[in-house]
Structure 1
């Protein structure tokens, strides 16, 4: 009996020593190195009406948290004035991430005709962008500027590039402050113009009316009528780009699932070029 007890103790001790040695021999666990990507902007970036939802869901790996804080109808002025920017800054300061990238895309609602949102192109708009860049850096994050997603309006077969001046102002700020730039406006405008009005209409949230299809085949875009219209009328962008979530309707600004997938891939591809160190976080 005594021999059996002694043998059991010896076995237990030897097993414990072996387990301790095995634990000591194991390499230490690798620390988790996760990054964060924050999206700032308007309805062309937010979920359900822009490219941001598809971007976070499809083009960001599990090594990065993707947070979409874009809000419909906001400009460089109103996004800050309402307090959304304060929330974004708090998100940038969340501990535990090795790197935080902040993608900023404005322009649509900074244009004239949108009371409470419009900013002066020559003075306010670039000054607002510069302040965003400075505060992102002060928060320990890395800013990335995006030129605004193109609208898809055509006149006699030519795309109306009505955001060119705002895109150019963003390019100048990016160059002056040495900020990575994703030139989404040029890339998206070139793609839409190459497709033409009929094919690019598939990027909208819902299908267009018969009159809209007929006008597109003739090389021109018109507003989607609620009822048969007496004569074609151009789209009023101030009316179809409201404050808040975009209405589920056909227009030439907002994106349905096909458009969101198409342009989110474009953003991911351009981002991998503009910020090479983000490539491990992106899915082509």
Structure 2
């Protein structure tokens, strides 16, 4: 009796194994799906933890695209290349197996004067550097997209101080000249921040402002966050204090906390869907 049971069990198992071996042959062949890649290149206003890039990759890119954030704090169009970061980005662009690779390039903050080893000449060097980024990205098989720099959030008498306008305009001209898709983040972000006003815009910072700073914002003007017990009622010169490397976890009018990162990453995603229709299926509104 036991022998018959074991013989029957063996027969069932062997039949199941045979079926498992033959079943895949009956299935239609799998259709390979190639993912795309999105590479972010820029400064601290794009990098993780102090810019919009972390939120963009986490919440606005579908699983059908790899999102690689290679932005570095304090970098300009000159220093990003000089230190070798651009070589890393080019290597990512040349990686095979992706259906398409886009590279988003946003500079301007650290190309401004007053930053030794970083600043570039607005009339000559800055646009020349951008052209080279575009040309080399295309040669590497990627599609470059230029972004104008995220606005700073400094106000005087209720009016936003748009100190990055000249750099944004230079980027627009290069984009038009080389027929590169453009996300005019500077204009979009500046318009949105001005509409909100200084007090509401302070929510975008990494940490809340000091009491004196909050009071000045309610009056329509931004002042430097106090480092001592008493604040000096002077505008904060963000162009001078923006660090090389990771942004300090402190209140300022340039870098972004979670609320700011979410707000501006959605702005970038929405603008990309219009400027680059081919990216639309890969973006989450």
Alignment TM class, shorter chain as reference: over 0.9
Considering only aligned residues, what root-mean-square deviation do their CA atoms show, in Å?
A: 2.0
- Which stretches in structure 2 are left out of the alignment for 5+ residues? 1-6
The answer to whether 1:235 aligns with 2:270 is: no
1:194 maps to what in 2?
195
Greater displacement, 178-187 / 223-232: 223-232
* Secondary structure at the counterpart of residue 30 of structure 2: coil
Q: How does 1:261-276 map to 2 (within 5 A)?
A: 261-276=262-277
- SS of the aligned residue for 2:261 comes to helix
Q: CA separation in 2, counterparts of 1:211 and 1:25?
A: 73
Residue 3 of structure 2 corresponds to: none
CA distance in 1, matches of 2:20, 2:47: 56
Q: Secondary structure at the match of 2:66?
A: strand
Distance 1:164 1:51 in 2: 20
Residues 32-47 of structure 1 aligned to structure 2 (within 5 Å): 32-47=33-48
Q: 1:19: how far off?
A: 6.4
Say which SS state the counterpart of residue 197 (structure 2) adopts: helix
Superimposed CA distance per residue, residues 202-230 of structure 1 (whole angstroms, 9 cap, x where no aligned partner): 00000101110111011100100012336
Deviation (angstroms), 1:237: 1.7
Q: 1:62 aligns to what SS in structure 2?
A: coil
SS at match of 2:163: coil
Residue of structure 1 equivalent to 2:122: 121
What's the CA shift string for 1:68-121, capped at 9, x where partnerless? 000000000000001100111111111111111000000000001111100011
Q: Secondary structure, in 3 states, of the residue corresponding to 1:228?
A: coil
Corresponding residue of 2:258 = 257
- Distance in 1 between the 2:206 and 2:24 partners? 57
Distance 1:195 1:45, change over 3 A: same
- If the length of structure 2 is used for normalisation, what is the TM-score? 0.92
Taking a change above 3 Å as real, the CA distance of residues 237 and 27 of structure 1, as seen in their structure-2 partners, is same
User: Cα distance, 1:18 vs. partner?
Assistant: 10
* Distance in 2, Cα, partners of 1:238 & 1:17: 70
Cα pair distance change 1:17/1:220, threshold 3 Å? closer
Q: Which residue number corresponds to residue 204 of structure 2?
A: 203
* Correspondence for 1:217: 218
Distance between the aligned counterparts of 1:231 and 1:135, measured in 2?
46
CA distance in 2, matches of 1:120, 1:166: 10
**1:222 is paired with a residue of what secondary structure?**
coil
Contact 1:240 1:251 (8 Å CA) reproduced: no
**Cα drift, residue 17 of structure 1:** 8.9
Q: What residue number does 2:110 align with?
A: 109
Q: Secondary structure at the match of 1:102?
A: strand
- 2:74 aligns with 73
Q: Which runs of 5+ in 1 are unaligned?
A: none
| SS of aligned partner of 1:167 | helix
Q: Is the 8 A contact 1:101 1:141 kept in 2?
A: yes
Secondary structure at 1:125 match in 2? helix
TM-score w.r.t. length of structure 1: 0.92
Aligned partners of 2:225 and 2:231 also within 8 Å: no
Equivalent-residue separation in structure 1 for 2:21 and 2:125 (angstroms): 67
Report the Cα distance in structure 2 between the residues aligned to 1:56 and 1:23, rounded to whole angstroms.
36
Equivalent residue pairs, number: 276
Contact 2:212 2:231 in 1 (8 A): no
User: C-alpha distance in 2, partners of 1:54/1:248?
Assistant: 17
